[in-house]
C-alpha cells in the first residue's frame, strides 16, 4: 500500500534542497544564529509524591492550558507497571487541573490538540497481541471519540501501524501520521487519513534517499497543507506537498525530534545531536537546541541546550502557544520547560 514519489521538487526549490551543504556545523561552538529566548524551569507543578515521567508529548489548547502525555513517572515500560494517569492538564501558570488515562497505554509518545480542543494521543509502545500501537482521539474529559489501529497488532496495511510517533492535522482536517520509530522492524512511512480516520494512502519506505526514512519522529503541517517531516535518524527534514510529493530536503535544522508551526513560523527541536561516535544520536558537529525560522527554510533563532554533552537533556517534544511561548517536554531530564522571548 506504499506509494513512492520522488518528483515535484519545485515549490521550495532545488536550491533549498541543497542549501545546507556549506553551513557551519559546530558542537562545542554554538551556531551563528541569535537567541531571543530565555529558559524558564519548573514550569509546571506536580502533585505531592508524583514525579514527572519522560516525555516528548506536549501541546497547548485554545485556553492556553498545557497538555502533557508523560511516561507514568519513568520511561520505557513505566506505564505497564503503574496505574497513574499519564495525560496531564496544567493551567497556563503550571497548576495541575485534570488527568486521565491510567492503565490505558504502553509508551506515551505524542499529543496534538485540534481546533475543537480534542486530544489526539499516540501510543508508540506495543504489547504484542494485547495493547498499544494505537492512536486515540479524546475529549478533554478523557472520553474516547475515535480509536485508530489494532491494539497490540503490528502491520503496514490500511488501519494498521507499527510504532507510530506523531501526527499533524491539515487545514482541511486530513490526518497525517508518522508511522515508525527507531526499532529496525517498525514502519518508515507517512500515513494519510480522513478526519474520521479512514485510510487514504501512505508514502515512504526505509532508507536514506528522497522519500525514504530512518527513525521518522515528528511532523507538522502548514496552512497550505505542506508536511514537514522530522526524518530524525537521517538528521534532516523532508518537506512534502499535501499529496506526498517531495518538495525539499533540509539538513541544516539538526536532528529533528519535535516540530511545530504557528503563524508561518517553523519550530524544530534537536534533542539528540552529540559528537561521540557510538552513542545514539551521533551527529558530530551539531549543538543541540531549538531552531526557529520561516517556512522557506531560513533559520532566524537558535536556543541552545546549555549542557549538550550529556544525554537527552533538552526537550524532545515542543509546543507553541498563541503568545509565541515555546513549551518543551524532555526525556532525559523528565521535566517541562518553557522558552519566553526576552
Q: Which domain holds residue 176?
A: 2-341
Q: What is the 3-state secondary structure (H, E, C) of the chain?
A: CEECCCCCCCCCHHHHHCCCCCCCCCCCCCCCCCCCEEEECCCCECCCCCCCCCCCEEEECCCCCEEEECCCCCCCCHHHHCCCCCEEEECCCCEEEEEECCCCCCCEEEEEECCCCCEEEEEEEEECCCEEEEEEEECCCCCEEEEECCCCCECCCCCCECCEEEEEECCCCCEEEEECCCCCCCCCEEEEECCCCCEEEEECEECCCCCEECCEEEEEECCCCCEEEEEHHHCEEEEECCCCCEEEEECCCCCEEEEEEECCEEEEEECCCECCCCCCCECCCCCCEEEEEECCCCEEEEEECCCCCCCCCCEEEEEECCCCCEEEEECCCCCEEEEEEC
Q: Mean pLDDT score of the chain, rounded to an integer?
A: 89
User: In this predicted structure, what is the pLDDT of residue 29?
Assistant: 59
- Grid cell in block for residue 107: 509508551
Residue 292: is its pLDDT beyond 60?
A: yes
CATH number, domain with residue 171: 2.120.10.30
pLDDT tens track for 23-46: 333 355 577 899 999 999 999 999
Provide the pLDDT for residue 32.
86
Residue 106 φ then ψ, to 5°: -100, -55
11 pLDDT higher than 50:
no
pTM for this structure?
0.91
State the pLDDT at residue 13.
41
Q: Is the pLDDT of residue 240 over 70?
A: yes
The domain tally of the chain equals 1
> 141: which 3 cell numbers?
474529559
Mean pLDDT of 217-225: 97
CB 60 within 8 A of CB 67: yes
Half-sphere exposure of 4 toward its Cβ, with a 13 Å CA cutoff?
Answer: 10
Give the CA-trace dihedral at 58, 308, 253, 214, to 10 degrees.
Answer: -80
Amino acid at each position: 500500500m506504499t506509494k513512492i514519489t520522488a518528483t515535484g521538487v519545485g515549490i521550495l526549490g532545488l536550491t533549498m534542497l541543497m542549501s545546507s551543504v556549506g553551513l557551519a556545523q559546530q558542537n562545542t561552538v554554538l551556531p551563528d544564529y541569535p537567541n531571543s529566548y530565555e529558559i524558564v524551569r519548573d514550569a509546571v507543578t506536580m502533585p505531592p509524591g508524583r514525579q514527572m515521567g519522560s516525555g516528548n508529548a506536549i501541546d497547548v489548547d485554545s485556553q492556553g492550558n498545557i497538555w502533557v502525555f508523560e511516561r507514568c513517572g519513568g520511561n520505557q515500560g513505566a506505564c505497564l507497571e503503574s496505574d497513574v494517569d499519564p495525560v496531564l492538564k496544567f493551567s497556563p501558570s503550571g497548576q495541575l487541573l485534570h488527568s486521565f488515562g491510567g492503565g490505558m497505554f504502553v509508551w506515551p509518545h505524542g499529543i496534538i490538540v485540534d481546533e475543537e480542543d480534542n486530544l489526539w494521543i499516540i501510543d508508540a509502545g506495543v504489547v504484542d497481541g494485547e495493547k498499544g500501537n494505537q492512536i486515540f482521539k479524546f475529549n478533554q474529559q478523557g472520553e474516547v471519540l475515535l480509536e485508530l489501529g489494532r491494539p497490540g497488532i503490528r502491520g503496514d496495511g490500511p488501519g494498521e501501524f507499527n510504532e507510530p510517533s506523531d501526527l499533524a492535522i491539515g487545514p482541511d482536517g486530513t490526518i497525517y501520521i508518522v508511522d515508525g520509530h527507531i526499532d529496525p522492524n517498525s514502519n518508515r512511512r507517512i500515513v494519510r487519513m480522513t478526519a474520521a480516520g479512514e485510510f487514504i494512502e501512505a508514502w515512504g519506505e526505509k532508507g536514506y534517499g528522497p522519500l525514504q526514512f530512518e527513525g521518522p519522529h515528528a511532523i507538522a503541517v502548514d496552512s497550505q497543507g505542506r508536511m514537514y517531516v522530522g526524518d530524525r535518524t537521517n538528521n534532516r527534514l523532508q518537506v512534502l506537498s499535501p499529496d506526498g510529493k517531495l518538495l525539499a530536503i533540509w539538513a541544516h535544522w539538526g536532528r529533528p525530534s519535535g516540530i511545530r508551526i504557528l503563524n508561518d513560523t517553523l519550530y524544530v527541536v534537536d534533542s539528540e545531536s552529540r559528537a561521540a561516535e557510538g552513542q545514539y544520536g551521533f551527529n558530530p558537529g551539531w549543538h543541540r537546541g531549538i531552531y526557529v525560522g520561516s517556512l522557506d527554510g531560513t533559520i532566524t533563532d537558535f536556543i541552545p541546550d546549555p549542557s549538550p554533552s550529556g544525554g537527552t537533556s533538552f526537550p524532545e517534544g515542543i509546543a507553541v502557544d498563541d503568545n509565541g511561548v515555546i513549551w518543551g517536554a524532555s526525556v532525559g531530564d523528565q521535566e517541562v520547560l518553557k522558552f519566553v522571548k526576552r
